[in-house]
Amino acid sequence: MLKYAIQDISEFSREDLEKSFLCMRDARKAKVERFQNETSKQCTLAGEWLVRGLLAEVTGKPGESFTICADEKGKLHAENTPGLFFNISHSGSKVAAAVCDERVGVDIEVLRPVSLKLAKRVCTVEELLYVFGRTPAETDFEDETNPECIRRFFEVWTAKEAYFKCIGTGITGFDAMQSLPADFKKIKIENEVYIMHIVTLNEV
């Protein structure tokens, strides 16, 4: 079982965001209040509201009834929902969430100019061939505007980021991103605005 949703923060009403804040535990409220960036604050509130809606769909319980907590590594979970896992991601004004009966990780990235120097640090040789369509020259890593290379880079990046979110560690170092298992389950969702991966694992 897997349910996911993607929305723009403009689709959430002020009332939605206020309800999301009121449902949070004090520690989460304090974290949100410390955000200096208003978009980050809205995305965090929208993400939790989105996942509450998905949990309500799956369980039949009101979304407001769930207590969402963070573990020692910062990974969110809902109390008293045995066998259910969720994950949230946001980029720009886009917010994504997934609920699953397996461990799940989500990463969404709005397509935008980005330094491809990062590809050198996180991609394997095979992935670099995929991103650039050939063996890249040093000058290729300076390009921040090639739309196809950027799209393929984000395809690789979101799959890896979703994997680390799934196992609950987050990215601990770029070296680790070059040594992932090749056979993990992933779903790609993309359009002209964003690219997203959902990763699920039975065992971690």
Question: Which residue is it, tokens 């809205």?
Answer: 42
CATH topology classification for 2-101: Ribosomal Protein L22; Chain A (3.90.470)
Helix axes 147-167, 125-132, angle to 10 degrees: 140
Q: Is 31 exposed, middle or buried (0-12, 13-18, 19+ CB in 10 A)?
A: middle
Cut 0.95: pTM above it: no
pLDDT for 178 equals 67
Where b means 16+ CB within 10 Å and e means fewer, 66-88 reads: bebeeeeeebbbbeebeebbbbb
Distance CA 121, CA 170 (A): 16
Positive or negative CA dihedral for 187, 192, 194, 195?
A: positive
pLDDT for 140 equals 87
Instruction: Annotate 3-69 with DSSP letters as a single string.
Output: EEEEEEGGGS-HHHHHHHHHHS-HHHHHHHHH---HHHHHHHHHHHHHHHHHHHHHH-S-GGG--EE
pLDDT in tens, 157-197: 999 999 989 988 766 666 666 667 767 889 999 999 999 99
pLDDT for 194 equals 97
Helix axes 26-34, 38-59, angle to 10 degrees: 150
- Residues lower than pLDDT 50 in the chain: none
Distance CA 170, CA 164 (A): 5
What is the residue extent of each domain of the chain?
Answer: 2-101, 109-188
